[in-house]
Amino acid sequence: MEIFENFAQSGERRGPQGRRSPLLALARRRPSMFCAALAISLWLFANPLLAQDQPTDEAASLPLWNGAWQPPEPDRRGWDWVRLKTNEWVKGEILLMRDFDLRFNSDEFGDVVLDWEDVREIISERGHIFILNDLRTRYLGTMIMRGDQISVRVGERVETFDRSKLLAITPSTHREINLWYARAVFGLGLRTGNTEQADITGRAKIWREGANTRFVVDYNGVYGSFDQVKNTNNHRGHLTFDYFLTPNFFLIPADFEVFTDEFQNISYRLTPTVGAGYFLIRRPKVDWEARLTTGYQHTRIDSAVANGTKTADNSAFVFSSEIDAELTSDVDLILSYQLQFIAPDTDRTNHHSQATVEIELTSIIDLDVSFVWDRIEKPETESDGETPKTNDFRLTVGLAIEF
């Protein structure tokens, strides 16, 4: 109290008209009242600031997140839930798991492909077919996967196995459309000025993946002109059907190729073969497969001078290899090579090789850059005596759509 009395006596100030300040007068005459008023004023000033730091009733009622969130209770009519290695949960529908890829449909993201190694947990009450590596053991039921353990409920019993033994997951209900995929690439090259050149390239691939089968149809073609005169026109179509006996070994009961090249004087070349194939490497980031088939080749020549030959029939021994590597999450590299050894007319032996870099631009659109090499050991001579070159090279750039 002495502090306020000294303050009032030492600093008696007056207003602009010489009147004594009411606050100082109060402090001099009523020190206790002045102290109480000052304390109340300080409390009223500080209370709003303190209130801003206090949680609201709504915020205080929310539980603290501990990183252990789980999806709602499974429902047969509900969603499939997938937890990634980033601890993000995605809900949607499992379409297929094979070749270390999980194909998943989400209302938010559409159809997406998830790396199987990035999946940490799955909760699903939808029925699926689970195929193990031996290709004989199959379970039809619902699943829960946590870490490296998978539990499948089959009726009243539960089958548990390590995820490394799982080869594929397919839908239990037969939805054929979910097993089919397609990819189309279109490229256009134009040049004008002193010369006019146009090149149109196209590639397409349609494939179906079942539990232990694979069916592929692909096409590769190019058409070009120089100063409005056609100078390139070749097309290659290929069909193959594979039947897997083990995860890595498969039979090829049907393999068929048709090829035409106007400037190699090949009206058409048909090569049906059968054989077998094997995955030399089959890992999440890289596949390497080799194929060996044998069969028959029929070739029709546009024009020739040797004995007036128009057709040729030979035995064919075909070796092919393909490497598919994921360089980054957005960039893939595909290297392929095919040798057709033709007997007894070995001059018709031919080679086809292609290197492709696919760069993901969006979820369905890629930038596609390809280098193609075609070679025939001895091209057919035209009736005017001109012989085409042995090797053909081309570089193409285009946009690809996959669905």
H/E segment holding residue 106: strand 101-106
Task: Tell me which amino acid residue 186 is.
Answer: F
Kindly tell me the sign of the dihedral angle through the C-alpha atoms of 46, 61, 121, 95.
negative
pLDDT, one tens digit per residue, over 116-137 is: 989 999 998 888 889 998 888 8
For residue 342, pLDDT beyond 50? yes
- pTM exceeds 0.85: no
pLDDT, one tens digit per residue, over 220-246 is: 999 988 877 888 899 999 999 999 999
Q: Which of 400, 361, 398 is nearest to 188 (CA)?
A: 398
Tell me the three-class secondary structure of 253-320, residue by residue: EEEEEEEEEHHHCEEEEEEEEEEEEEEEEECCCEEEEEEEEEEEEEEEECCCCCCCCCEEEEEEEEEE
Residue burial 179-213, b: 16+ Cβ < 10 Å; e: rest: bebebbbebebeeeeeeebebbbbbbbeeebbbbe
Greater confidence, 167 or 16? Answer: 167
Mean pLDDT of 338-355: 94
**Residue 111 confidence class, pLDDT cut points 50, 70, 90:** confident
- Write the DSSP string, 158-178: EEEEEGGGEEEEEESS--GGG
Per-residue model confidence (pLDDT) at position 156: 87
For residue 298, pLDDT beyond 90? yes
Greater confidence, 215 or 20? Answer: 215
Q: DSSP 3-state assignment of 24?
A: helix
Per-residue model confidence (pLDDT) at position 339: 96
With a pLDDT cut of 90, the percent of the chain lying above it is 39
Per-residue model confidence (pLDDT) at position 262: 86
H/E segment holding residue 395: strand 391-402
Q: Which of 113, 114, 115, 143 is nearest to 128 (CA)?
A: 143
Helices (H) and strands (E) in the chain, counts: 4, 21
CA within 13 Å, CB half, 287: 18
Q: Which of 290, 357, 288, 362 is nearest to 327 (CA)?
A: 357
Greater confidence, 131 or 41? Answer: 131
Cα–Cα distances in Å, from 313 out to 289, 300, 310, 346? 29, 9, 11, 12
Task: Tell me which amino acid residue 373 is.
Answer: W
Mean pLDDT of 288-305: 87
User: Which two three-digit tokens encode residue 125?
Assistant: 């009450």
Per-chain mean pLDDT for the chain: 81
Evaluate whether 144 touches 163 at the Cβ level (below 8 Å). no
Per-residue model confidence (pLDDT) at position 266: 87
Distance CA 104, CA 247 (A): 22
Evaluate whether 13 touches 21 at the Cβ level (below 8 Å). yes
**Which residues on neighbouring strands pair with residue 391, listed in sequence order?**
375
Per-residue model confidence (pLDDT) at position 317: 97
Greater confidence, 273 or 56? Answer: 273
Which domains are seen in the chain, by residue range? 2-54 (no CATH), 80-174 (2.30.30), 179-402 (2.40.160.40)
Alpha helices by DSSP H, listed for 18-176, are 22-29, 31-52, 57-61
